Amino acid sequence: MKRVHVAAGVIRGADGRVLIAKRPLDKHQGGLWEFPGGKVEDGESAEAALERELAEELGIAVTRSRPLIQVRHDYPDKQVLLDVREVLAFTGEPHGAEGQPLAWVAPEALPDYRFPAANRPIITAARLPDRYLITPDEHSADELLRGLSSALQQGIRLIQLRAPSLSDRAYRTLAADVIELCKGRAEVLLKGPLEWAADFPEAGWHLSAAQLRQLAASGRPIAFGRWLAASCHDALEMSLAASLEVDFIVLSPVQATVSHPDAVPLGWPRAAELLAGFTQPVYLLGGLGMADLAQASDSGAQGVAAIRGLWPGWVDPSGATRTI
Ligand SMILES: Nc1nc2c([nH]c(=O)n2[C@@H]2O[C@H](COP(=O)(O)OP(=O)(O)OP(=O)(O)O)[C@@H](O)[C@H]2O)c(=O)[nH]1
Ligand SMILES: [Mg+2]
């Protein structure tokens, strides 16, 4: 069976809501919601196909889009490659040009709608931002909270609280303060024993590669009910993350980094290769910052994860202060 190549778009309104459409009952996966789009024609790029399909289906002209995620999925009766792009700019007012019902949905409400099975990672990708801040470990609790406040003001929406130098007790106290600070503004993922998760019901969890290996030994997905992410460094760890059905992963190190000077960098070509076969969103980490967002996206990643590269006011070696 030939895999059907499909281009689909995540379109956002000015208020951040995402546009979805209902598939006609008589079509494949009929009656379910979808991200508007359609089949890529022979010799056509996914970008061009998306522009053509969204003009036909919604009457809009897409002027700018970027790759968001690629999903290969095998239905019993059809194999698809969904090439999903984030629409960054368009003109016109979207309407159901083929009579299909449309809905504008807040990203966090997308899981409440019924989509085809292939769409789970797309929904996750549509809900996640393009940058994942990992906290630096060298600051006092007060400095860290001040830095996080600025980061929130600058638009950071996803944060991993990493503080390996703190005692368990100090980490847990800091975690409570960070969760309080970020409430309603950013998602916080904690890093530590998974048994702690019950004490922090509002936080997601970020598994280390070692935790990932341990949990994967149990052989079944974890039903966590909040954000669950994992650190991966190679194809094996990525396959463990996939089998546990974590929401997203961080793949590192792409480049040499000060926090892990001994680690051998993957480099961009190898990172892109590892991403190609993986269907969940991936943040690339390791010596990266905002300047690397476009390359990360072109390599198939959701975006960039960074400690220094996303920390407010960090001065890079060239002397320029980075802004987010
Ligand atoms: N556009 C779109 N298609 C999706 C999504 N998820 C998903 O599994 N698909 C599948 O991708 C394929 C492409 O859909 P399509 O609208 O281009 O084509 P179709 O087969 O429904 O209609 P057609 O044969 O008249 O062109 C369908 O098999 C559809 O079930 C999604 O979110 N958006
Ligand atoms: Mg279509």
Residue 186: which CATH number? 3.20.20.70
Q: Does 308 belong to an annotated binding site?
A: no
Cα 179 to ligand 1 centroid, rounded to whole Å: 40
Q: Which of 118, 149, 166 is the last residue of a domain?
A: 118
What pLDDT is attached to residue 224? 86
Q: Is residue 234 part of a domain?
A: yes
Hey, how many other C-beta atoms are within 10 angstroms of the C-beta on 223?
A: 7
pLDDT tens digit sequence for 143-161: 999 999 999 999 999 999 9
pLDDT over 60 (residue 94): yes
The answer on 257 and 160 residing in a single domain is yes
* pLDDT band of 316, cuts 50, 70, 90: low
Ligand in closest contact with the CA of 78: 1
Residues 102 and 139 both lie in one domain = no
Which residue, by CA, sits nearest to atom 20 of ligand 1? 28
108 with 149, same domain?
A: no
- The answer to whether residue 323 is domain-embedded is no
Nearest ligand to the CA atom of 123 = 1
Q: What is the number of the ligand closest to the CA of 74?
A: 1
pLDDT tens digits, one per residue of 219-266: 777 888 899 999 999 999 999 999 999 999 999 999 988 878 888 999
Q: Is the CB of 183 under 6 A from ligand 1?
A: no
Mark which of 75, 96, 118 sits at the end of a domain: 118
| pLDDT for residue 124 is more than 80 | yes
By the 8 A CB rule, do 240 and 254 touch? no
Together in a domain, 107 and 144: no
Taking the alpha carbons of 278, 282, 286, 289 in that order, is the dihedral positive or negative? positive
**CATH number of the domain enclosing 37:** 3.90.79.10
Ligand 1 pocket residue status of 83, Cβ below 6 Å: no
Is 13 domain-assigned? yes
Is 203 in the same domain as 136? yes
Which of 5, 27, 70, 105, when mutated, tests ligand 1's pocket best, judged by the most ligand atoms within 8 Å of its CB? 27
CA neighbor of 305 nearest in space, from 69, 131, 144: 131
Query: Tokens 């892990």 belong to which residue?
Result: 260
Going by pLDDT thresholds of 50, 70 and 90, the confidence category of residue 218 is confident
Check whether 36 is labelled as a binding-site residue.
Answer: yes
Check if 241 has its Cβ closer than 6 Å to any atom of ligand 1. Answer: no
Specify the number of domains making up the chain.
2
Q: What is the pLDDT at residue 220? A: 74
Host domain of residue 113: 4-118
188 and 263 housed in the same domain = yes
The answer on whether 35 is annotated among ligand-binding residues is yes
**Same domain (yes/no): 109, 136:** no
User: Are residues 163 and 90 part of one domain?
Assistant: no
> Domain check: are 159 and 285 in the same one?
yes
Q: Of 96, 118, 140, which marks where a domain is finished?
A: 118
124 occurs within a structural domain: no
Whether 135 maps to a domain, the answer reads: yes
Q: Are residues 91 and 144 in the same domain?
A: no
* Residue 263: predicted pLDDT: 85
Could you tell me the pLDDT band of residue 323, with boundaries at 50, 70 and 90? Answer: very low
Residues 62 and 103 in one domain: yes
221 with 263, same domain: the answer is yes
> What number is the ipTM of this complex?
0.94
Would residue 259 count as lying in a domain?
yes
> Which residue of 34, 44, 83 sits with most ligand 1 atoms within 8 Å of its CB, as the best mutation to test the pocket?
34
pLDDT tens digits, 17-30: 999 999 999 999 99
